Amino acid sequence: MGSPTENRQNPSKRELLTVAEKEDGIVYNNWIERIAMVRLVDITEKDYAPLARFLANFGESAETEALWLDRFRFWWDDNPAATEGVARGWILEDDSRIEGFFGIIPTRFQLLGKHTTAHNATTWRVSDAYRHSSMKLLFRAIKETGEGILFNNTPIEQVVPILKSLRFRPLPRESEAGDRLPCGVVVLDFKKAAELRAGRGFAGQAGALLGAPLFALYQRFRLRNLKMNGLEVRLLDQAGVEFDRFWEETRPVYANTSVRSAEALQWYCFRATPEEMKLFGCYREGRLAGYLIAWRRIDRNSSKLECVDLWTRPGDDEATSALLAGTIRYAKSEAADLALFPHFSGALGKTLLRLGLFRVSTRRRGEYFKTTDEIAGRIDHRNSYFVDTQGDRSFFP
């Protein structure tokens, strides 16, 4: 729930008493008395500054208060789904001190064909001395969700058994890769890809020099059917009214998926740091035929352009091909090493394979959702399309 998330196993009663006895030199009679003093408080704008300070100083975090304040503005102040009365999250407070946090990023979501507000869990962090109260935060999030839907796609390993015990369910995906999400890959820097695979020693360097040209020719052959098909792909600087029309035309395809209105896309793609998200629109004779959102990610070893959402009409492989071709062309111009296109559905995965993309399993899935048992029983991979705008993975500017 955030990156990174801090939460540990609940300690024994004796451990709780030992922690409480030493804290601030104050002696408490028992652990129950200590717990009773902790309050759960709804987050409001007045909490931003002290909460940013708490998170910036939590553990060994290298994230600044200013960065957290930017995130709060994006998650809540600028977010059209964060209307009055919608939860932003909660803090654990003891004598006006913040000792824990559980964030909610609200987003528009279509659940069983009806628009609602989804809760995306983020950044569950609790001070060591207060970890006995950690579950209060999660229980409150579940209660607040009610008959809506709560997503958590970044739990640490220790949290997964807790989620399962509370009847969180894995996101239903049609996948043959077990607990890993299949992904289509286009290699743009063949030498670096070969070095990363073989190592940076002499053998790795030699293999990269010899193998890269052959691999490039092989990939070019595989991608021979990846074409623009007479369509136009534009890198957009806003989500116009055509996105509202396209959403209304295509929303019946899946009962459960993100709301793709112009307002929602404008907020998501053109945030305070817009260089991170890129919105590509595909046009057929001047009318929107689909779109793709790509996320620029840079780590120690490589630079990637990763698709976080791809939306077209069912079976419109021409639009999918054009969007991929346009995105790859942009990735090359930005000197990215890889372009990644997750198999968000079985149908999309088959299209990507048909177009010649290599298939890899990129990351272990930790994607869970919580709603009522009755609603959860009506959600499956056939009537749902989940992308990387569920949860908080792509909400960290």
Residue 199 C-alpha from the chain's centroid = 30
393 — pLDDT class (breaks 50, 70, 90): confident
Res 349: pLDDT? 94
- Could you confirm whether domain 180-364 is CATH 3.40.50.11610? no
396 — pLDDT class (breaks 50, 70, 90): confident
Domains in the chain: boundaries: 13-170, 180-364
Residues 6+ apart with CB under 8 A from 374: none
CB 168 within 8 A of CB 369: yes
Q: What are phi and psi of 49, to 5 degrees?
A: -65, -50
Same topology between domain 13-170 and domain 180-364: yes
10 — pLDDT class (breaks 50, 70, 90): very low
For 130-186, write each residue's pLDDT tens digit.
998 999 999 999 999 999 999 999 888 889 999 999 999 999 987 654 467 899 999
Res 195: pLDDT? 62
CATH architecture designation of domain 13-170? 3-Layer(aba) Sandwich (3.40)
pLDDT at position 366 over 90: no
Say which residue, 178 or 63, is predicted with more confidence: 63
Rounded CA gap, 89 and 92, in Å?
Answer: 10
For 249-263, write each residue's pLDDT tens digit.
999 999 999 999 999
CB atoms within 10 A of CB 379: 20
CB atoms within 10 A of CB 304: 20
Under DSSP, the state recorded for 78 is S
Nearest Cα to Cα of residue 277 among 299, 292, 263, 264: 292
Q: What are phi and psi of 363, to 5 degrees?
A: -145, 150
Res 54: pLDDT? 97
pTM: 0.86
Rounded CA gap, 99 and 55, in Å?
Answer: 10
For 186-237, write each residue's pLDDT tens digit.
999 987 776 665 545 544 444 555 567 888 899 999 999 999 999 999 999 9
Rounded CA gap, 287 and 191, in Å?
Answer: 39
Rounded CA gap, 71 and 48, in Å?
Answer: 10
